[in-house]
Structure 1
Amino acid sequence: MLSTKQKQWRIKIFAVTWLAYAAFYFCRKNFSVIMPMISEDFNYSKDDLAILIGGYSLSYMFGQFSNGFLADKFGPRLVVTTGMIVSITANIMMGLSGTFGLLLFFMGLNGLGQSSGWPGLIKNMATWFRRDERGIVMSWWTTNYVIGSFVATIFATYWATSQTLFPDLGWKPGLWAPSVILLFATITYGLFTRNRPPDAGLPVIVKEEDTGSASTGFDKKILREVLNHPTIWIASGIYFLLKMTRYAFLFWLPLYMTEALSYDNSTAGYMSSVYELTGFLGVIAAGYLSDKIFSSKRFPISTIMLAGLAVLCFLQPILSQMGMVATAISIGLIGLTTYGPDSIISGAAAMDIGGKKGAATAAGVINGVGSTGQLLSPFVVAFVSNTFGWDGLFYLFVVLALSGAILSSLRWNFGGTSKPERSP
């Protein structure tokens, strides 16, 4: 049984880490909103935009690997706080940049800062919550990037398109105003989080037998165990496909709506937020179903949702011709079936694979490999949409989702509330 103080601290840790990652999205999702405006102002092609997003994704990918190791070694409080400050600085400077080269540099810097968030905060949560409660707990916790992305989209759209507040600045407030939100979250996280219960004067909550790792402290053995785990590369492959798909929607959905569906910038910005709004339901459903129906197994629900995503992407070109309501419903259901497996693979499954000692490393590896899909995503989107049209892109998503479902089905019986599977 947990003491009253332990329960109070767990609520605090949940709240401040949730806020921290949600706030990261204010300085991430804002670029997708201003992208059509930047393209118009500077006459950037899709290939130019792909290079900018690729610069962000490249540094984000390398940062996932390094920040996972750093968070396990030095603790998430230092690593995440530093990353937040870097992201704030990059967003402010992007608004002041007048050349493509400077914009590319600060996009890369932003990616580096953003990459500290997920592995570091997963590490934070892994030391406060046990394996048999992670499915439900993490389903609620991983709503941070869904709700954060949704609110950030609306927030950035308002500031970037407002004709009443600073209209002469154009889209630049869409970079600066979100930085203020992230600054507030940085101060809150730095002041109120703790890396693990002993740092708050409390007994250990997550016992060694709950971790799947017999190691003590960060060393090469932890890294070796994580990399040799029989499930880490399956999860990473699934996440590669998921991030290629999710980041295509994350960055390109407003442009798709302005070009293919002829929406104006404001309508496209607000409409694209439906993707995250219903994604919230997918995250909650995935967590509850994995714990309650599948006995804390993460891959069955991932398999089912990815198969559903393939069907929805196949139907999207047809539904988009039926009007704005049909488009909103379709995009919403795609968001639900994208965010469900995305959250369960990168959250609870990563924690199960890495355990308390290697949670950040496992999360960093899965996210790092996944981020190679994120890195390729803008170039794939630009090429396919230019060559085969936007409808052709959705048919590519069908292939990616089906491939992910097949991979996920290979680990259907992994995990659960029985004794955790260990690396060889």
Structure 2
Amino acid sequence: MTKAISNELKKWRVQIFALTWLAYFGMYFCRKNFSVVMPIMSRDLHTSKEEFAFVITIYSITYMLGQFLNGYLSDRKGPRLIVGIGLLISVISNLLMGWMGTIGSFVFLMGLNGFGQSSGWSGLIKNLTPWFRKKERGVMMSFWTTSYVIGGMAATAFATYWLSNQNILSELSWRRVFLAPAILLLVISLVYIAFIRNNPVDVGMEPFERDTNTKKGKRKEKEAQLAVLKNGAVWIAAAMYFFVKFTRYAFLFWLPLYLSEALKYSDERAGYTSIAYEAFGFLGILAAGFASDYLYKTRRFPISSIMLFGLAFVLFLQPHLSPLGIVPTIFSIGLIGFFTYGPDSLMSGAAAMDMGKNHGAALAAGLINGVGSAGQLLSPFAVAFVSDQYGWDALFRLFVIVALIAALLLILKWNYGKENQDEIEVNQGNFQDLAMSAKIQ
């Protein structure tokens, strides 16, 4: 029987949704800025692709290890503390990158930034889980995960503006691309820390699942975390995410350089054109969330697999479309974003919440994102090596293979969650409640 949601709880759900969305949105301002300055840094500092790859790899190592640690800590200590610390670490590292501005300092500071950024996904998934029921999560997460798509677009545009604008602190040149986002994220960090709460119990309300903060709850938490580790679907999702993140982070960091080097775009045009990746990705997230809830009755694996097959097809076409001009290039890059972000958000978000449930959501999200970050770790060296030795078109052929492997992995758990379909009933009242949260965007 569906428990009614009080007006007070609805207000808190809107607030939690908004603050967690804003926090992850803000993190991208201190993540995407590096890719925007790579073309000009390669000229000003004579930085090679291999050096860029090393910096990105250090970031990826600390991000990967931080996913495991911060996922565990968010379950144990609460996301408000862990995410709050992570946000401030990212702010500090970007401020220092803006002042130091040498490739040697970037190795350490990007590593520090990676650790701070790693607190975000698993911690914020943990933050959301107690406030929303399973049957709401697909749609809710389809709106919430627009945070990193809209964040990616806004961060790229923001960084490109500071890179190209010569009227404000022009003497700092590309260093402004680190300083301005850090100041913005600092404001967001303070707002998050001040107004977020971990779960309904913290505001004197009854949780959807009772036993939080009791001995029984602690025991159930340990049992839930053990169940996550034994859940084969979690590891299938994690393996799939290895390949998805391999591709997504290649585009996240290298797309402006590809457009500049292979297609001879100016730095400004490359920066703005790359926004198409996230813009279409926004639509992919919404499509995946709605399809999983309404067409597949909260089954996350089928639609993700289908979209990954679509990704492989578009990646195959992209080298043939880019010579036709900027419009086909924007369209193909956009479709790549559409078919990447859909399964990316669904499997690392709603699926992780489903598999981890209330007490193991952060661990499930941390495991999936952590294993995915191993793909992120290999990505920069693969991009640098293949593009240097065989050309950019060969890199897209590699991405085709990677996407097909990810799609085939998800077929292994095609019917996962089918046993719960009889329990799923998404009523109009719940949808309106979620729609209210969506308006925050």
TM bin, normalised by shorter chain, reads over 0.9
Is the Cα contact below 8 Å between 2:285 and 2:345 reproduced in 1? yes
CA distance in structure 1 between the partners assigned to 2:401 and 2:209 by the alignment: 39
1:41 aligns with 2:18: no
1:285 aligns with 2:290: no
1:170 aligns with 2:173: yes
Q: 1:125 aligns to what?
A: 128
Q: After the TM superposition, which residues 117-156 of structure 1 pair with which residues of structure 2 at under 5 Å, given as runs?
A: 117-156=120-159
Unaligned stretches of 5+ residues in structure 1: 209-213
Following TM superposition, by how much is the alpha carbon of 1:189 offset from its aligned partner in structure 2, in angstroms? 0.7
Is the Cα contact below 8 Å between 1:217 and 1:357 reproduced in 2? no
Distance 1:398 1:149, change over 3 A: same
DSSP-derived class of the 1:411 partner: coil
Q: Residue type matched to 1:414 in 2? A: Y
The CA deviation string for residues 208-258 of structure 1, in whole angstroms up to 9 with x for no partner, is: 8xxxxx964576544322111121110001100000000000000000000
CA distance in structure 2 between the partners assigned to 1:176 and 1:218 by the alignment: 44
Q: After the TM superposition, which residues 234-249 of structure 1 pair with which residues of structure 2 at under 5 Å, given as runs?
A: 234-249=236-251
Is the Cα contact below 8 Å between 2:153 and 2:275 reproduced in 1? yes
CA distance in structure 2 between the partners assigned to 1:357 and 1:237 by the alignment: 22
Following TM superposition, by how much is the alpha carbon of 1:419 offset from its aligned partner in structure 2, in angstroms? 7.7
Q: 2:302 aligns to what?
A: 300
Q: Residue type matched to 2:336 in 1? A: I
TM-score of the pair, normalised by structure 2: 0.92
Following TM superposition, by how much is the alpha carbon of 1:206 offset from its aligned partner in structure 2, in angstroms? 4.3
Following TM superposition, by how much is the alpha carbon of 1:180 offset from its aligned partner in structure 2, in angstroms? 1.5
TM-score of the pair, normalised by structure 1: 0.96
The CA deviation string for residues 357-403 of structure 1, in whole angstroms up to 9 with x for no partner, is: 00000000000000000011100100111111000010111001100
Q: After the TM superposition, which residues 200-279 of structure 1 pair with which residues of structure 2 at under 5 Å, given as runs?
A: 200-206=203-209, 216=218, 220-279=222-281
Q: 1:389 aligns to what?
A: 391
CA distance in structure 1 between the partners assigned to 2:276 and 2:209 by the alignment: 37
Is the Cα contact below 8 Å between 2:221 and 2:359 reproduced in 1? no
Is the Cα contact below 8 Å between 1:72 and 1:218 reproduced in 2? no
The CA deviation string for residues 164-213 of structure 1, in whole angstroms up to 9 with x for no partner, is: 222221101100111111111111111111100010111112468xxxxx
The CA deviation string for residues 234-291 of structure 1, in whole angstroms up to 9 with x for no partner, is: 0001100000000000000000000000001000001001100110000000000000
Structural RMSD (CA):
1.4
DSSP-derived class of the 1:172 partner: helix
1:112 aligns with 2:143: no
DSSP-derived class of the 1:204 partner: coil
Q: 1:71 aligns to what?
A: 74
CA distance in structure 1 between the partners assigned to 2:358 and 2:183 by the alignment: 33
The CA deviation string for residues 29-51 of structure 1, in whole angstroms up to 9 with x for no partner, is: 11000111111111111000000
Q: 1:211 aligns to what?
A: none
Is the Cα contact below 8 Å between 1:130 and 1:206 reproduced in 2? no
1:29 aligns with 2:35: no
- Taking only the aligned residue pairs, the percentage that are identical comes to 54
Is the Cα contact below 8 Å between 1:124 and 1:195 reproduced in 2? yes
Q: Residue type matched to 2:147 in 1? A: N
> Which runs of 4 or more aligned residues in structure 1 lie more than 6 Å from their structure 2 counterparts after TM superposition?
none
CA distance in structure 2 between the partners assigned to 1:92 and 1:24 by the alignment: 14
Is the Cα contact below 8 Å between 1:215 and 1:221 reproduced in 2? no
Q: Residue type matched to 1:299 in 2? A: F
CA distance in structure 2 between the partners assigned to 1:217 and 1:119 by the alignment: 21
DSSP-derived class of the 1:184 partner: helix
CA distance in structure 1 between the partners assigned to 2:291 and 2:81 by the alignment: 34
Is the Cα contact below 8 Å between 2:298 and 2:421 reproduced in 1? no
Following TM superposition, by how much is the alpha carbon of 1:99 offset from its aligned partner in structure 2, in angstroms? 3.4
CA distance in structure 1 between the partners assigned to 2:204 and 2:43 by the alignment: 55
CA distance in structure 1 between the partners assigned to 2:402 and 2:225 by the alignment: 29
DSSP-derived class of the 2:174 partner: coil
Q: 2:189 aligns to what?
A: 186
CA distance in structure 2 between the partners assigned to 1:99 and 1:181 by the alignment: 23
Q: Residue type matched to 1:58 in 2? A: I
Q: How many aligned positions are there? A: 415
Is the Cα contact below 8 Å between 1:274 and 1:328 reproduced in 2? yes
Is the Cα contact below 8 Å between 2:225 and 2:359 reproduced in 1? no
Q: Residue type matched to 1:57 in 2? A: S
Q: Residue type matched to 1:320 in 2? A: S
Q: 1:57 aligns to what?
A: 60
Following TM superposition, by how much is the alpha carbon of 1:128 offset from its aligned partner in structure 2, in angstroms? 0.4
